[in-house]
Structure 1
Amino acid sequence: MFERRVVAAWAVFGGIAAASAALVWRRPDAQRLSDLHIYYGAAKFDGPLYDYVAENGGPFTYPPFAMVLFRPLSLLPEATLGVLWLAMTCAAVIAIARTVTRSSAATATVTVTSAVTSAVTSAVTGTATTAGTATTAGATTTAGATTTAGATTKAGAATKAGASAGGGGSVGSRFFTRGLVAAGVATALLVSAPVQSNLRFGQVSIFIVLLALVDAGQVVPARFRGILVGAAAAIKLTPLLFVVYFLVARRYKDAARAGAAFVACAGVAAVLMPGASVRYWGGTIFQTSRIGDLASLGNQSVHGMLLRIGLSPATLPVVWAVLIAAICGAALLRARALHLHGEPVRAAVLVGCATVAASPVSWTHHQVWTVLAAMLLVATEGAWRRAAGVVLLVVMTLSLGVVLRGVALYPGWQFLLENARSLGLIAVCVAGVGGAAMRLNRRTRFRTTRRIAVAALAGLAALALTPLPAGADPTFKAYSADDLTNPRYFYFTGTPAAGEPIAYKIRREKTKVRVNGVVGAEVAGLRYTSAPGGAARSIPLLEADAGVRTFSFRSASLAHGRLDVLDASGQVAASFTNLA
């Protein structure tokens, strides 16, 4: 029975992986594996590496060592490389899932992922299962013994998997249960937004997560620990925070090996690509604007959320530095406690979440760590933590800001929905992901946790009901005469109806709304306010054709916006508040 369930569970994973890859391949050429296309084009580029810009407008942004590794792959035809990359991404998902389930997270506690997989596979195989059969695998434990999930059980507690495995015994039961849970974790990870984003763009982020996880999680032999973290940091800088974690956790040899590996990889790149290395370390590393619009909803780092709040350029660096110091400090201390209690994989996931929070740029494909944290919460003790894990897993699979865009009643609610992943990430870094370290002084911790939860909920409720400033809509942009020929921005044709000062048409995209229209002769100006109480923004009136004046702008949402029409004296002649 267990054998059939495991095979069926992995068959479900394989089916979803094949469907995901097929959907990626069906995308238009310009949108298929667009980041992989940038890597490939940069590898073939004869000029300076950081002068390269792909047809889709994307530059190469990683350290030179990443290109040292990528150039051999560019010898393959791009289509062949694309297929190989999709396969390697799915293989990395499996490796990550197996690493997580070998930790204290998944084999002895009830998990949502295994329950979902069990239900699906039962339908496939025609067998019935219960939560106890699927998730309580393990040998009989005695008083005070700690199960593989790190949970202390009562005397005489016994698992049921021995009988359910058809006489396979406790070892076989644990093996098959672990395989079932690994398939469930892999499937849940595969359908999450970060992994789907890795597949869609052909991203390297999933491999960075794998390298850091197996290294910091002590999967590799002790004498090699730290090397993979150093190599990963030479490809993408964010894993450098793991070196700090090694020091905090007193893993000094691992920290030394990580630092040496990082320097060695950068040195290899400097020998092979001296010009690119000098340019990158001499200035390109600080040019975060090359990466894209950091205020867009895709950037769910703390920095991105602060940009969306609309802090002034002078205030933002100070607030960001203080928040990151507090968030990363809390995460590192909790990770050290987990390491000392023999849970290195949980500790690694927590530090990984801190890297996502600390980086100025954390696109969706960077956020695999947050999905892993959600799964660990689902698999830990305590109904509240499990519920929080389920909510976070949903948030990391669906974009609540997009799904519920039309439901939000206040700008604050919309802000919470759009930044749910940032807020969930912060909560994980501060509160941890469960584990043995969280079970000490349980009663005192419960009271403290309850008070913090109540205070946090009250704060979120207050924010949700508070009108946000117009600066909280960094998506806003009013287009100029230079954009007149772009049909994406200027698509409306027509004239205002009799008695109406303007006529316009709205186009909705996934993370923004566009408004394009024309104005009558009596209109002297337009201004737009994103939220009640916010500052108004001027919208230029452009001469499209003789006697025709047009305008175009974009906003994150029109639900609470107001468009004012101004007359020649600068007074408001008309207002439009129901643009949506």
Structure 2
Amino acid sequence: MEDRSTRLTRFVRFGRPHPGAAALWAVFVATAIVSSVLVLHRAPDDRLSDLHIYYGAAEAVRAGDALYGFVAENGGPFTYPPFAAVLFLPLTWIPELTLRIVWLAATAGAVAAIGAAMSRLVPARRTALLAPLLAFAVLITSSAQSNLRFGQVSAFLVLLALVDAAGLTPARHRGVLIGVAAAIKLIPLLFVVFLVWSRQTGAAVRAAVTFAGCAVLGALALPSDSWTYWSGTVLRTSRIGDLASTGNQSINGMLLRAGVPQTAVWVAVAGAVCVVALWHARRAHLAGEPGRAAVLAGCATVAASPVSWTHHQVWLPLAAIMLITAGGGRARPVAGTVLLCAAVLSPSTVLRAAGAYPGLAFLGDNARTLATIAVCLTGLGLARAAGSPPVLPLPRSDPGRRWSRLGQDRLAYVQRVEPDQTEDHPERGQ
């Protein structure tokens, strides 16, 4: 057995921060600070404009005005469910200028948490450097920068759905965070379908009950506004903005840009893509790959939503990270690198600046939509068969006992298949 001093020495060594990880986290923080300063130096009507809408809508609620009659100075209305407005009420407790700084810091923290969560879910070898590397990779993408620029909630919702759907929350509470995320923005409700299909009935029930409970809370706090929203405003997607603009990288946006405005076509195409994506997600979950399953379900929300602005597309770089770290050949890492580049750069801007032909321009305008569809249809590569043993983290054990057990296993193998060698080498395997 180890004595107390040996155990203490091991604990102290384990507790020391990794110098490389500390340096990478410092780079992440510096990049987040620079990004935030650049946001704060934008023109007044082009910095944290969505946060301003949240703040103004919450002030309108406190003043007793109609929530869905509120329009900000930039013409932006409040488009979320009433529960979100109730949740935003505490924002008015501090001055808006202070809130901007707090919100930017919180958004950067959410991106860091997404990177840390992904470091526990990717198939790559886990090291202390992985979390800050993945967090930085997400931070420099257009989707994360858009969250900072507009003061959006999307990064927080992705974090809630990711950790919940991937099983990083306690089993008895699983589904609650998905329900909260869906109560703020409806599109995470697709995760409930994923939970049901992947045989996570308890989590699906908790998510649905949490969503319903939040909706009831919003109705009790804002009965008139709740009636307005659920009786018709929820279906008026035109309030969100120009859905045909290149910023909307959903299937709906691509079809509108292609001159196909029929809702039935959008529902059919988006429905088919979602079915395939959730089928792949179900297989991944049953094969013991919860991270892959959660990312696939998230990409399905980007494809299926009537509108998927840049700040909604955080799931795309997460899919790229899954591909890059997958191993097993060059195809997936290369595809992941291309996908990550598309998430960092703007293919539309690059191709149009290069004077691309109309066909290439259309490809650039819809590059992220097509990439999301490809992820959904391929399932990030073939998952293992549903009946194969799940990939579970190895239990932490005493190193001495672990090596001793390995030696015993090796000796048992030798005695079983190489009996003549055990007599010549009695110490083999110890």
Bin for the TM-score computed over the shorter chain: 0.7 to 0.9
Match of 2:203? 254
Alignment map for 1:378-389 (pairs within 5 Å): 378-381=324-327, 382-389=329-336
TM-superposed deviation, 1:59: 0.3
TM-superposed deviation, 1:36: 0.1
The partner residue of 2:156 within 184, 196, 207 is 207
Match of 1:319? 265
1:259-282 CA deviation, whole Å, 9 max, x = no partner? 100000000010011011000000
CA distance in 1, matches of 2:215, 2:356: 51
Asked if 1:371 is matched to 2:386, the reply is no
Could you tell me which runs of 5 or more consecutive residues in structure 1 were left unpaired when the two chains were aligned.
109-173, 442-580
Match of 1:340? 286
CA distance in 2, matches of 1:15, 1:415: 36
Match of 1:298? 247
Match of 1:546? none
Contact kept? 1:64, 1:277, Cα under 8 Å: yes
CA distance in 2, matches of 1:25, 1:7: 27
Match of 2:71? 53
Alignment map for 1:454-465 (pairs within 5 Å): none
TM-superposed deviation, 1:407: 2.3
Asked if 1:216 is matched to 2:165, the reply is yes
Match of 2:217? 268
Alignment map for 1:68-87 (pairs within 5 Å): 68-87=86-105
Contact kept? 2:51, 2:150, Cα under 8 Å: yes
TM-superposed deviation, 1:440: 10
Please say which of residues 384-393 and 317-326 is displaced more in the overlay: 317-326
Alignment map for 1:381-530 (pairs within 5 Å): 381=327, 382-434=329-381, 436-437=383-384
Asked if 1:351 is matched to 2:297, the reply is yes
Amino acid in the other structure paired with 2:287: H
CA 1:84 to 1:248, structure 2 compared with 1: closer, same or farther past 3 Å?
same
Match of 1:6? 21
Alignment map for 1:22-37 (pairs within 5 Å): 22-37=37-52
TM-superposed deviation, 1:436: 4.3
TM-superposed deviation, 1:387: 0.8
TM-superposed deviation, 1:3: 2.3
Asked if 1:43 is matched to 2:58, the reply is yes
CA distance in 2, matches of 1:365, 1:409: 26
Partner-residue secondary structure (3-state), 2:32: helix
CA 1:2 to 1:404, structure 2 compared with 1: closer, same or farther past 3 Å?
farther
Match of 2:138? 189
Match of 1:502? none
CA distance in 2, matches of 1:26, 1:406: 26
The partner residue of 1:102 within 117, 120, 143 is 120
TM-superposed deviation, 1:408: 4.1
Amino acid in the other structure paired with 1:60: F
CA distance in 2, matches of 1:387, 1:2: 32
TM-superposed deviation, 1:6: 1.1
Please say which of residues 408-417 and 371-380 is displaced more in the overlay: 408-417
Contact kept? 1:380, 1:435, Cα under 8 Å: no
More strand by share: 1
Contact kept? 1:346, 1:435, Cα under 8 Å: no
Give the TM-score of the pair, scaled to structure 2: 0.83
TM-superposed deviation, 1:13: 0.6
CA distance in 1, matches of 2:120, 2:305: 28
> Number of paired residues?
369
Contact kept? 1:229, 1:239, Cα under 8 Å: yes
CA distance in 2, matches of 1:345, 1:83: 32
Amino acid in the other structure paired with 2:357: Y
More helix by share: 2
Amino acid in the other structure paired with 2:29: G
Amino acid in the other structure paired with 2:164: D
CA distance in 2, matches of 1:334, 1:186: 26
CA 1:406 to 1:23, structure 2 compared with 1: closer, same or farther past 3 Å?
closer
CA distance in 2, matches of 1:100, 1:93: 11
1:22-78 CA deviation, whole Å, 9 max, x = no partner? 101111222110000000011111310000000011000000000111101211110
Contact kept? 1:197, 1:365, Cα under 8 Å: yes
CA 1:80 to 1:91, structure 2 compared with 1: closer, same or farther past 3 Å?
same
Contact kept? 2:284, 2:386, Cα under 8 Å: no
Partner-residue secondary structure (3-state), 1:55: coil
Match of 1:239? 188
1:192-240 CA deviation, whole Å, 9 max, x = no partner? 0000000000001111101111111111100000111111100000000
Contact kept? 1:380, 1:434, Cα under 8 Å: no
1:320-371 CA deviation, whole Å, 9 max, x = no partner? 1221121101111110111111111210111000001000000000000111
CA distance in 1, matches of 2:321, 2:382: 12
1:362-419 CA deviation, whole Å, 9 max, x = no partner? 0000000111001111111331111111111000111111122132442111100111
Contact kept? 1:190, 1:196, Cα under 8 Å: yes
Alignment map for 1:139-218 (pairs within 5 Å): 177=127, 179-218=128-167
Amino acid in the other structure paired with 1:249: S
CA distance in 2, matches of 1:82, 1:329: 39
Partner-residue secondary structure (3-state), 2:384: helix
Partner-residue secondary structure (3-state), 1:380: coil
Contact kept? 1:343, 1:435, Cα under 8 Å: no
Contact kept? 1:104, 1:435, Cα under 8 Å: no
Amino acid in the other structure paired with 2:306: P
Partner-residue secondary structure (3-state), 2:46: coil
Give the TM-score of the pair, scaled to structure 1: 0.62
Match of 2:12? none
1:530-569 CA deviation, whole Å, 9 max, x = no partner? xxxxxxxxxxxxxxxxxxxxxxxxxxxxxxxxxxxxxxxx
Partner-residue secondary structure (3-state), 2:265: helix
Contact kept? 1:241, 1:355, Cα under 8 Å: yes
> RMSD between aligned alpha carbons?
1.7
CA distance in 2, matches of 1:440, 1:425: 27
Could you tell me which runs of 5 or more consecutive residues in structure 2 were left unpaired when the two chains were aligned.
1-15, 389-430
Amino acid in the other structure paired with 1:69: L
Determine what percentage of the aligned residue pairs are the same residue.
55
CA 1:196 to 1:409, structure 2 compared with 1: closer, same or farther past 3 Å?
closer
Contact kept? 2:287, 2:386, Cα under 8 Å: no
Match of 2:400? none
Amino acid in the other structure paired with 1:23: L
Amino acid in the other structure paired with 2:96: E
Contact kept? 2:286, 2:386, Cα under 8 Å: no
Contact kept? 1:376, 1:434, Cα under 8 Å: no
CA distance in 2, matches of 1:353, 1:266: 25
Amino acid in the other structure paired with 1:76: I
Q: Say which one has the larger Rg.
A: 1
Contact kept? 2:58, 2:85, Cα under 8 Å: yes
Amino acid in the other structure paired with 1:285: V
Contact kept? 1:230, 1:258, Cα under 8 Å: yes
